[in-house]
Structure 1
Amino acid sequence: MTTERAGFPWILTVACAAALALLIGLGAWQVRRLAWKEGLIAQAQAAGLAAPVPLADLAALPDPEFRRVVLPCDFQNRPHVELQSIHDGQPGMRLIAACEGWLVDLGFVPETISARPARASAAIPAITAVVRRTDPPGAFSPPPRNGRFFARDAEVMSGALGVEAARPFTLYAEESAWPQWAALTPSPPPPAFSNNHLGYALTWFGLAIVLIGFYVALLRRRLRKSAS
């Protein structure tokens, strides 16, 4: 009685080779993402340590994000809009004003504070702010109502404040524009970066190694069966 000899598993080999190329490609992509993220973190740290630049020089920077800037505007006597927000688990609103064509987030005011301070007779000294990129709102973000915004829509906010061209950045005040108003809390968002790319890369490369082991074991079993 003769035994039918099985041929070489070409289909399995091609499928495993394609899967292996995909896993290695994903791992290499995560390695590149890791380098990019580390560069971004280094950029944010360097910008945070650099001296604040004059607001007039900000537009000339190729990428002003994370830079600190000096704001010369008198915010106590400028109009502002309110953005619904939550800070440290407390509902309230953030006051958004404009300064020389840039949107400025002056800080958070709790919802329990309904009164606003009177306009000041004298301007306070310039304050510093940090630049952060502003992503456009989602398609389902609610529109503003009665002067209050529910999404950080730079274009619409700029129009409401009389700014001709909306920039994709917000300047977050580091100091209070109303030192006498304790309810206002300047709170720039920290430059938080999730840097899990090394773990993702190791996962993809680990799966590639598992796939190789699976293929070798299956191939050896197939060859032993063919030889018997």
Structure 2
Amino acid sequence: MSPFQGVRPVSLIAVLTGLVILLGLGVWQVQRLAWKEGLLARIAALQAAPPEPLGVVLHRLGDRGEVDYVRVQTTCPTVQQTPTLRLYAVLDGVMGYRLITACPIDSGRYRSLLVDRGFTPTEKVGDATAPQGPIASPVVGVLRRADPATWMTQPNAPARNDWRARDIPAMAAALKAVAPAPVFLMLEQPAAPPPGPRPAAIPTDIPNNHLGYALTWFGLAAGLVGMYVASVLRSRRG
């Protein structure tokens, strides 16, 4: 009996194509698992990490060092007085805005830093953006890189102060902030008194389901192979 009896070329090509796709998705989820575990480890270490000087950390950018989720401190007395952008956000199921302003700095080639002051519900955004007094003490926060926009992200509308994605160059231009650093400072301290925004620097509920997704894709790949082998065996018996 020929080993190729019962094998249909078209079906075989379709199965191999599906197998490559399913295995590729499984491998991608394994890679995402490693990335997510590293991210969660950085966040766990951040919980007790003391703040580093902003200039020292930004200098690491030039050496391609990792600065995402690093706690820093700097001086920014006008952070509650300068113009504010509204970035649409949902926090704990509540719709509102994250308030973005700019802080002048002097760190190498960077002359400004965008500061995410925190979250405020939609109905309170007017009061939350009202100018307040200067801050005498250093500000403390966590550096974060901007998440890239996806195909589902609505376009920014700077003319209406309606922002949907963290676009550092465009936001800096709207705030007239020159030479911005390519990261955000997610403010932790000091928190503005009510009705000011609530600092929300570190995500509190990052899911990590990539292992389950990987096992699902690999399981589907195994099932596809099993069904195809069973189909070939039935054809041979017929």
Give the TM interval when normalised to the shorter protein.
0.7 to 0.9
Structure 1 residues 107 and 160, CA gap change in structure 2 (3 angstroms)? same
CA contact (8 A) 2:169 2:180 kept: yes
Deviations 1:16-62 (A, max 9, x none): 34433432333223222211221122123223432111111121231
**2:85/2:101 contact within 8 Å kept:** yes
| Runs of 5+ consecutive residues of structure 1 not aligned to the other structure | 1-5
Assess if the C-alpha contact under 8 Å between 2:81 and 2:131 holds in 1.
no
Alignment of 1:110-189 (within 5 A): 110-111=124-125, 113=127, 116-117=130-131, 119-120=133-134, 123-135=135-147, 140-145=155-160, 148-151=161-164, 152-176=166-190, 178=192, 181-189=193-201
- In 2, distance between residues paired with 1:22 and 1:84? 37
Deviation of the 1:116 alpha carbon: 3.0
Q: Is the 8 A contact 1:97 1:106 kept in 2?
A: no
Q: How does 1:1-228 map to 2 (within 5 A)?
A: 7-11=5-9, 12-61=11-60, 62-75=65-78, 78-83=81-86, 85=88, 89=94, 91=96, 94-100=99-105, 101-108=112-119, 110-111=124-125, 113=127, 116-117=130-131, 119-120=133-134, 123-135=135-147, 140-145=155-160, 148-151=161-164, 152-176=166-190, 178=192, 181-191=193-203, 192-225=205-238
TM-score, reference length from structure 2: 0.74
| CA root-mean-square deviation | 3.0
Q: Distance in 2 between matches of 1:16 and 1:204?
A: 14
Instruction: Say if 2:84 and 2:101, in contact at 8 Å, map to a contact too.
Output: yes
Q: Which protein is bigger by CA-based radius of gyration?
A: 1
Aligned equivalents of 2:197, 2:176: Cα separation in 1: 25
Taking structure 1 as the reference length, the TM-score comes to 0.76
| Change beyond 3 A, Cα 1:216–1:171 | same
3-state SS, counterpart of residue 124 of structure 1: coil
Deviation at 1:74, TM superposition (A): 0.8
* 1:69, distance to aligned residue in structure 2 (A): 0.8
Gaps of 5+ in 2: 106-111
Change (3 A) 1:184 1:150: same
Deviating more after overlay: 128-137 vs 97-106:
128-137
Deviations 1:133-189 (A, max 9, x none): 2246657321234xx4434442233234443223332112112365xx432133224
